[in-house]
């Protein structure tokens, strides 16, 4: 009798007003369709309930023959109740401009990447225009007047009335991203970020303790940032934490879609001047997972010792992005990422929510793994 293949999926949802099990439902229904299309087999569906284990109390199990007996456990990290948007339009726009400035610095350093976007000299000189080109950020947001930075918060509702529904969605999405990625430890948003991140890591720990053989992490939108932060934290602790040391080979794949990770990297890049090379070096070390090596200038008599043990560097990473999704884009600031352009079948702005029903992601990103782990 063939040995059962075991695959564990952890989905981390993105921004919005999700209800518990909503993402799990949408994802599982589409995965079932893809699995049946891929294997031709019937699918046995089971709701697993484990009272007393809050991190894995409820999850879905799919069983099928591939023809090898296969068991897929699908878990959701539901963090929506922890987050509360508390950012104005002005603050969101300022965040975007900082991200734009960081992007300009990055692509001026990496001209070979800039060439593929065919950016003009005018675009490279002006942050507000440059914003149009960064990872698909919308032209309308990119050309908003800089005077918006001086608008008081009480004008936010009136600004929203002047925007189309897709533009409102984009601003709200990016506002949540800006809130989560705050670097000021004095702010409540930073404490909220740590709470969300700690909860996600606890979830991963619980799954590893259950001896999952193959763990796939899946993050949408802001969820992709949380997923990345989880891996970055594990990356930093992998040599000192016995659980991560023992089970690091269980990490099989990272899948991101609708991801604003490049914009976050650009924003953080703009925070520290190149002259403060010690601070910049330390910050880069703490955010080093799969990021392109920074261009740091040390005095010629200084040798900086590597801090990280790159045990997760070669884990496959697929990033799906839709040109009509202004939140997403190819992830140029990270190494060994397979950027895959897709068409979610939605108009501009709304395409950000279309990944969940895009069968290409399920077939190429997940169902194909069943063939790989059989080898």
Best CA proximity match to 31, nearest among 76, 62, 75, 68: 62
Distance CA 242, CA 95 (A): 38
Instruction: Tell me the angle at which helices 188-209 and 222-237 cross, rounded to the nearest 10 degrees.
Output: 70
DSSP character string of 13-28 = --SS-PPTTHHHHHHH
Half-sphere exposure of 123 (CA within 13 A, CB side): 16
Residues forming beta bridges with residue 220, ordered by sequence position = 257
Q: Are 285 and 310 in contact (CB under 8 A)?
A: no
Question: In sequence order, which residues have a C-beta less than 8 Å from that of residue 106 and are 6 or more positions away?
Answer: 265, 266, 269, 332, 333
Question: pLDDT value at position 130?
Answer: 38
- pTM of the complete model: 0.83
Question: In sequence order, which residues have a C-beta less than 8 Å from that of residue 361 and are 6 or more positions away?
Answer: 255, 257, 320, 342, 355
For the segment(s) 5-82+188-374, the CATH number from 3.30.70, 3.30.110, 3.40.50, 3.30.429 is: 3.40.50
Strands (E), the chain: 5-12, 44-49, 58-65, 69-77, 215-220, 251-257, 317-321, 338-341
Q: How many Cβ atoms sit within 10 Å of the Cβ of residue 34?
A: 19
Distance CA 190, CA 20 (A): 24
Query: From residue 106, how far is each of 112, 123, 157 by CA, in Å?
Result: 11, 14, 34
Residues forming beta bridges with residue 70, ordered by sequence position = 5, 64
Question: pLDDT value at position 293?
Answer: 67
Q: Own/partner pairs for 115-123, CB < 8 Å, 24+ apart?
A: none
Q: Are 366 and 31 in contact (CB under 8 A)?
A: yes
Furthest CA-CA distance within the chain: 70
Half-sphere exposure of 85 (CA within 13 A, CB side): 17
Question: pLDDT value at position 136?
Answer: 37
Question: pLDDT value at position 211?
Answer: 82
Residues forming beta bridges with residue 369, ordered by sequence position = none
Query: From residue 166, how far is each of 163, 343, 351, 352 by CA, in Å?
Result: 8, 17, 10, 10
Q: Which residue has the tokens 């960064």?
A: 134
Question: pLDDT value at position 24?
Answer: 96
CA angle, corner 86, sides to 203 and 80, nearest 5? 25
| Three-class secondary structure of residue 59 per DSSP | strand
Distance CA 228, CA 257 (A): 12
pLDDT 10s digit of each residue in the chain, 375 long? 567 889 999 999 987 667 889 999 999 999 999 999 988 889 999 999 988 777 778 999 999 886 788 899 999 999 888 766 666 666 777 777 777 776 666 666 666 665 555 444 444 443 443 344 333 343 344 444 444 445 555 555 545 555 556 666 666 677 777 777 777 788 777 888 899 999 999 999 999 998 889 999 999 999 999 999 999 999 988 888 999 999 999 999 999 999 988 877 776 765 667 778 888 888 778 877 887 766 677 888 888 887 777 778 889 999 999 988 888 888 988 889 999 999 999 998 889 999 999 999 999 999 888 877 766
Best CA proximity match to 76, nearest among 56, 51, 54, 49: 56
Distance CA 81, CA 299 (A): 47
Which value, in Å, is the radius of gyration of the alpha carbons in the chain?
21
The residues of the chain that CATH labels 3.40.50 are 5-82+188-374
Query: From residue 201, how far is each of 55, 129, 140, 298 by CA, in Å?
Result: 10, 38, 37, 34
Q: How many Cβ atoms sit within 10 Å of the Cβ of residue 223?
A: 25
| Three-class secondary structure of residue 107 per DSSP | helix
- pLDDT tens string 214-224: 999 999 999 99
End-to-end C-alpha distance for the chain, whole angstroms:
16
Q: How many Cβ atoms sit within 10 Å of the Cβ of residue 147?
A: 7
């Amino acid at each position: 009798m063939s040995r059962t293949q075991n695959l564990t999926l952890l989905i981390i949802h993105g921004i919005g007003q999700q209800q518990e099990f909503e993402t799990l439902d949408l994802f599982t229904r589409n995965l079932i369709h893809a699995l049946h299309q891929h294997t031709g087999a019937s699918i046995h569906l089971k709701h697993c309930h484990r009272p007393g284990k809050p991190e894995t109390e409820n999850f879905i199990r799919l069983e099928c023959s591939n023809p090898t007996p296969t068991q897929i456990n699908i878990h959701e990290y539901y963090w929506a109740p922890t987050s509360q948007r508390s950012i104005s339009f002005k603050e969101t726009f300022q965040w975007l401009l900082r991200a734009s400035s960081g992007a300009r610095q990055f692509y001026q350093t990496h001209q070979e990447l800039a060439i593929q976007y065919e950016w003009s000299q005018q675009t490279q000189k002006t942050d507000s225009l440059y914003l149009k080109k960064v990872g698909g950020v919308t032209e309308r947001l990119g050309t908003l007047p800089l005077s918006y930075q001086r608008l008081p918060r009480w004008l936010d509702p009136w600004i929203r009335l002047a925007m189309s529904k897709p533009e409102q969605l984009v601003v709200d999405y990016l506002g949540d991203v800006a809130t989560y990625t705050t670097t000021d430890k004095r702010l409540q948003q930073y404490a909220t970020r740590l709470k969300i991140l700690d909860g996600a890591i606890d979830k991963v720990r619980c799954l590893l303790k259950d001896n999952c053989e193959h763990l796939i992490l899946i993050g949408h939108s802001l969820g992709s940032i949380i997923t990345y932060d989880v891996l970055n934290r594990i990356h930093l602790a992998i040599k000192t934490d016995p659980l991560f040391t023992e089970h690091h080979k269980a990490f099989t794949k990272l899948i991101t879609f609708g991801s604003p990770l490049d914009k976050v990297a650009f924003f953080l890049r703009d925070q520290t001047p190149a002259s403060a090379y010690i601070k910049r070096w330390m910050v880069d070390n703490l955010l080093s997972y799969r990021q392109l090596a920074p261009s740091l200038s040390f005095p010629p008599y200084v040798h900086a010792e590597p801090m990280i043990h790159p045990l997760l560097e070669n884990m496959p990473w697929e990033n799906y992005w839709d040109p009509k999704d202004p939140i997403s884009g190819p992830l140029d600031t990270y190494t060994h990422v397979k950027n895959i352009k897709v068409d979610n079948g939605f108009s501009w702005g709304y395409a950000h929510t279309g990944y969940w029903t895009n069968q290409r992601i399920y077939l190429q990103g997940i169902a194909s793994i069943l063939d790989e782990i059989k080898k």
